[in-house]
């Protein structure tokens, strides 16, 4: 799906502790429900109380694991990871979980986020004469913990947290313990729930916990450390929550599964409200409201209910498109070969159409979609976006692209409209978006506003190591 014009989240993490179970397969099913957060690589590390085994590779969860491999991962403690990354640095050595040996025994980590001071921390570690065997944050995080003071892993994590600036939703695995920690800003989500078999599971999204049957799911709080081991679930304050928490708004807009609950809000309902708010801010006279499937379906439903304009399908998405699919040549594209979406002329012909989409990033896919609708007979096409223009890159673990790549950095809304070729284009206002979410603070909107919640001391590019 890599040519869709969407930001890319960089990871999904999971952790399981279940004293009487072989948890590798539970981790597998949980990871599977986090596949949308990273389709490039996957890994699971498991401990049986004595030895940590791990398996990880490039590919989808279903490609990386099979029953034979899972059978070689015995134990009742596990962490797992799905990874997205740009092609450049997509080498095996950056695939997580990342496992090292320390003076306190083995330690594995899986990470969702991005440390904005990774460059500085990296320099400090290297100047101590320590080598780092991966270019991602994970080697850095584990190496800092390996040398941290403290009598237990939770103390070492707690003692190291003040040094980490940026977004981190982390899970750790030691011989006999699972740890999870979320940065005090709460940039990226992380939830914990109870497994029906006894034990607990932690995952980037509550939707993943639902898939593996969890109950009593709650969010891990900003700054909170959770420990899972023979003592059960223990919660510590790692750091006090930031005065202004900075949850990623884009989790509501696009990243999270619609069946996830975050900040005590149903993501699906937030998206319905985003659609309703779009109508309130910008009521368009039209005959039909259609989503760009699948991510914009809830917002289109919300728009339709608020406006009374009938909801229907306009696009049919081809379901089997995978990473390895051959792309049509430019020549075939010009001849009309269009793989992602077909249109429904029967629903569109002579209609005034409102298309709901979640975001415009580079702006290269909206134009062809508008063209498909017109070819199918749509009389008018009005494109409504459930968030403001994205004009600033993200340094908290999301690949939005660079400034130059962001169309809203280069063009006004009117210029974008003309470039795309729709009859009208409307972006939801920042206020409208927050109104739809139902919160007036506590979120990071830096990609819309450029106001970064913490100072970004350097450009931490993903391929930093190779420079």
What are the catalytic residues? Answer: 11
Q: Is 313 in the site for a copy of itself (CB under 8 A)?
A: yes
| Cβ pair 169, 189 in contact under 8 A | yes
Count of other CB atoms within 10 angstroms of residue 203: 33
**Can you say how many angstroms the Cα of residue 117 is from the centroid of all Cα atoms in its chain?**
21
If binding means CB under 8 A, how many residues of this protein chain bind a copy of itself? 102
Interacting span for a copy of itself (CB under 8 A) from 163-171, 238-246, 248-256, 313-321: 313-321
3-state secondary structure of 279: helix
Closest listed residue to residue 299, CA positions, set 354, 367, 242: 354
What residues numbered 10-49 form the site for a copy of itself, per CB under 8 A?
Answer: 25-26, 28-29, 32-33, 35-36
Beta bridge partners of 16: 78, 201
Q: Is 459 in the site for a copy of itself (CB under 8 A)?
A: no
Q: How far is the CB of 62 from a copy of itself (least distance, A)?
A: 5
Q: Is 211 in the site for a copy of itself (CB under 8 A)?
A: yes
Q: How far is the CB of 324 from a copy of itself (least distance, A)?
A: 6
Q: Is 426 in the site for a copy of itself (CB under 8 A)?
A: no
Count of other CB atoms within 10 angstroms of residue 216: 9
What strands lie across the sheet with 352-357, from one edge to the other? 288-291, 352-357, 380-385, 424-427
| Cβ pair 263, 233 in contact under 8 A | no
Rule CB under 8 A: choose which of 5, 19, 74, 102 binds a copy of itself.
102
Q: How far is the CB of 230 from a copy of itself (least distance, A)?
A: 21
Q: How far is the CB of 437 from a copy of itself (least distance, A)?
A: 14
Alpha-carbon distance of 186 to 183, in angstroms, equals 5
Alpha-carbon distance of 442 to 394, in angstroms, equals 17
Q: What single DSSP character describes residue 231?
A: T
> In this complex, which beta carbon is closest to a copy of itself, that of residue 335 or of residue 412?
335
| Cβ pair 39, 72 in contact under 8 A | no
What residues numbered 319-348 form the site for a copy of itself, per CB under 8 A?
Answer: 319-322, 324-326, 328-329, 332, 335-339, 342-347
Rule CB under 8 A: choose which of 310, 402, 412, 458 binds a copy of itself.
310
| Cβ pair 211, 118 in contact under 8 A | no
What residues numbered 256-285 form the site for a copy of itself, per CB under 8 A?
Answer: 257-259, 261, 266, 268-269, 272
Rule CB under 8 A: choose which of 19, 119, 213, 421 binds a copy of itself.
213
Q: Is 234 in the site for a copy of itself (CB under 8 A)?
A: no
What residues numbered 122-161 form the site for a copy of itself, per CB under 8 A?
Answer: 122-123, 126-135, 139, 142-143, 145-148
Interacting span for a copy of itself (CB under 8 A) from 58-66, 387-395, 415-423, 431-439: 58-66
**Total residues found in the chain within this entry:** 467
Q: Is 318 in the site for a copy of itself (CB under 8 A)?
A: yes
Q: Is 203 in the site for a copy of itself (CB under 8 A)?
A: no
Strand runs labelled E in 283-325: 288-291, 315-317
């Amino acid at each position: 799906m890599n040519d869709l014009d969407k930001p890319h989240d960089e990871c999904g993490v999971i952790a399981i502790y279940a004293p009487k179970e072989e948890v590798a397969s539970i981790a597998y099913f949980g990871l599977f429900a986090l596949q949308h957060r990273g389709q490039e690589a996957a890994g699971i590390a498991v401990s049986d109380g004595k030895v940590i085994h791990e398996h990880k590779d490039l590919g989808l969860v279903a490609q990386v694991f099979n029953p034979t491999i899972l059978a070689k991962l015995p134990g009742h403690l596990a962490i797992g990871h799905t990874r997205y990354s740009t092609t450049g640095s997509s080498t095996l050595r950056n695939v997580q979980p990342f496992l090292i040996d320390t003076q306190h025994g083995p330690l594995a980590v899986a990470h969702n986020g991005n440390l904005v001071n990774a460059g500085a921390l990296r320099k400090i570690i290297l100047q101590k004469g320590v080598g780092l065997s991966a270019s991602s944050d994970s080697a850095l995080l584990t190496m800092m913990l390996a040398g941290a003071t403290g009598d237990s892993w939770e103390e070492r994590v707690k003692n190291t947290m003040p040094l980490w600036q940026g977004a981190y939703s982390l899970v750790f695995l030691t011989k006999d313990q699972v740890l999870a920690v979320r940065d005090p800003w709460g940039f990226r989500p992380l939830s914990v729930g109870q497994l029906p078999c006894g034990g607990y599971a932690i995952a980037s999204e509550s939707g993943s916990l639902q898939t593996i049957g969890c109950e009593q799911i709650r969010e891990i709080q900003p700054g909170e450390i959770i420990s899972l081991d023979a003592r059960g679930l223990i919660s510590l304050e790692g750091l006090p929550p930031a005065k202004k928490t900075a949850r990623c708004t884009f989790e509501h807009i696009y990243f999270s599964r619609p069946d996830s609950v975050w900040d005590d809000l149903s993501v699906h309902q937030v998206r319905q409200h985003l659609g309703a708010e779009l109508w309130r801010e910008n009521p368009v006279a039209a005959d039909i409201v259609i989503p760009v499937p699948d991510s914009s379906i809830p917002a289109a439903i919300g728009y339709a209910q608020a406006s009374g304009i009938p909801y229907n399908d306009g696009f049919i998405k081809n379901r089997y498109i995978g990473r390895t699919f051959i792309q049509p040549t430019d020549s075939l594209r010009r001849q009309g070969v269009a793989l992602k979406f077909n249109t429904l002329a029967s629903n569109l012909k002579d209609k005034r159409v409102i298309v709901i989409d979640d975001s415009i990033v580079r702006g290269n896919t909206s134009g062809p979609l508008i063209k498909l609708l017109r070819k199918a007979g749509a009389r008018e096409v009005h494109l409504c976006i459930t968030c403001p223009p994205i004009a600033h890159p993200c340094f908290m673990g999301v690949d939005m692209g660079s400034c130059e790549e962001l169309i809203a950095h280069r063009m006004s809304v009117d210029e974008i409209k003309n470039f795309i070729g729709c009859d009208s284009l409307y972006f939801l206002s920042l206020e409208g978006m927050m109104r739809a979410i139902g919160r007036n603070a506590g979120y990071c909107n830096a990609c819309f506003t450029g106001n970064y919640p913490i100072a970004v001391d350097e450009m931490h590019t993903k391929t930093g190591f190779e420079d």
